[in-house]
């Protein structure tokens, strides 16, 4: 589903990603973990070209782009983004639209389906994330957990092959984290391919097939989530996990 080869990225001469290689198979759930500043969010944002890598290549689905010589065309960017949906740490719902409008705006704009189908699907999805009774409210009237669940529904409306989650629960009050994780977990059970940047280690152990531990722009350790997150080989990974346990 996703193949990343030799990816490199610098911000103003500071390297943030170095020789990144990773593969995600269809139906897999992959977690990116690591300290802040380790490059995991940047890596995730490279997967839908919100950031443009300097070198290397990314293949998602049938689309492959490589970076370096030529500037990316608008079409390349569009083609890559077609495969993925993204959920942000800060939700980024459209504040001037009701929840229903939020989740139907993109499919209605894309016009790949007729309106009736889109509306039907929207109400099924809202039901599924438990927001049916809030569909006519504005985001500002909802809790962070509700907003994030709506943001997940919004991304799902475009039928992405891969869902990208950028610290989906980091901006939430502790008591709201579970309701969001439950939605993500139910997606995992359905076989949705996902790449998740998270600090929720128990959650990651439970649902992830693979885990990548990132440190200073490198993938330092990768393997089955259970092993990487419970019994890592590298000292740095061990230190990082121990630090989280302390909290």
Binding-site ranges for other proteins (CB under 8 A): 48, 50, 78, 81-82, 84-86, 88, 90, 92-97, 105-106, 109-110, 138-141, 151, 154-155, 158, 164
Nearer to other proteins, 151 or 220 (CB): 151
Report, in Å, the least distance between residue 12 CB and other proteins: 18
| CA 113 to mean position of chain CA atoms | 25
Judged by phi (left if over 0) then psi (alpha if -120 to 50, else beta), residue 157 lies in alpha
Report, in Å, the least distance between residue 47 CB and other proteins: 10
Classify residue 150 by burial, with Cβ atoms within 10 Å: 0-12, 13-18, 19+. buried
Nearer to other proteins, 119 or 158 (CB): 158
Report, in Å, the least distance between residue 240 CB and other proteins: 28
Alpha-carbon distance 92 to 136, whole Å?
17
Nearest to 224 by CA among 215, 233, 216: 233
Report, in Å, the least distance between residue 63 CB and other proteins: 13
Nearer to other proteins, 35 or 72 (CB): 72
Report, in Å, the least distance between residue 111 CB and other proteins: 11
Nearer to other proteins, 83 or 203 (CB): 83
Report, in Å, the least distance between residue 83 CB and other proteins: 10
CB atoms near residue 126 (< 10 Å): 20
Nearer to other proteins, 115 or 233 (CB): 115
Structure tokens at 146: 């509700």
Q: What is the DSSP letter of 88?
A: -
Nearer to other proteins, 33 or 49 (CB): 49
Nearest to 151 by CA among 162, 166, 120: 166
Helices and strands (H, E) in the chain, number of each type: 9, 10
Alpha-carbon distance 171 to 1, whole Å?
29
């Amino acid at each position: 589903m996703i193949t990343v080869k030799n990816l490199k990225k610098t911000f103003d001469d500071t390297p943030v990603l170095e020789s990144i290689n990773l593969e995600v198979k269809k139906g897999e759930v992959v977690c990116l973990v690591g300290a802040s500043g380790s490059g995991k969010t940047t890596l995730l944002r490279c997967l839908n070209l919100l950031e443009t890598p300097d070198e290397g290549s990314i293949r998602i689905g049938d689309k492959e782009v490589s970076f370096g010589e030529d500037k990316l065309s608008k079409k390349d960017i569009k083609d890559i983004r077609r495969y993925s949906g993204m959920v942000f740490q800060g939700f980024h719902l459209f504040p001037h639209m009701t929840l229903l409008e939020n989740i139907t705006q993109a499919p209605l704009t894309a016009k790949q389906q007729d309106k009736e189908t889109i509306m039907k699907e929207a109400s099924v999805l809202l039901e599924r994330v438990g927001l049916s009774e809030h569909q006519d409210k504005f985001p500002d009237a909802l809790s962070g957990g509700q907003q994030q669940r709506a943001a997940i529904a919004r991304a799902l409306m475009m039928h992405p092959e891969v869902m990208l989650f950028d610290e989906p629960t980091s901006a939430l009050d502790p008591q709201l984290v579970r309701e969001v994780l439950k939605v993500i977990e139910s997606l995992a059970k359905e076989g949705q391919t996902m790449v998740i940047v998270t600090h929720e280690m128990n959650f990651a152990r439970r649902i992830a097939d693979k885990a990548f531990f990132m440190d200073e722009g490198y993938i330092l350790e990768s393997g089955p989530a259970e092993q990487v997150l419970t019994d890592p080989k590298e000292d740095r990974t061990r230190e990082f996990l121990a630090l989280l346990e302390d909290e």
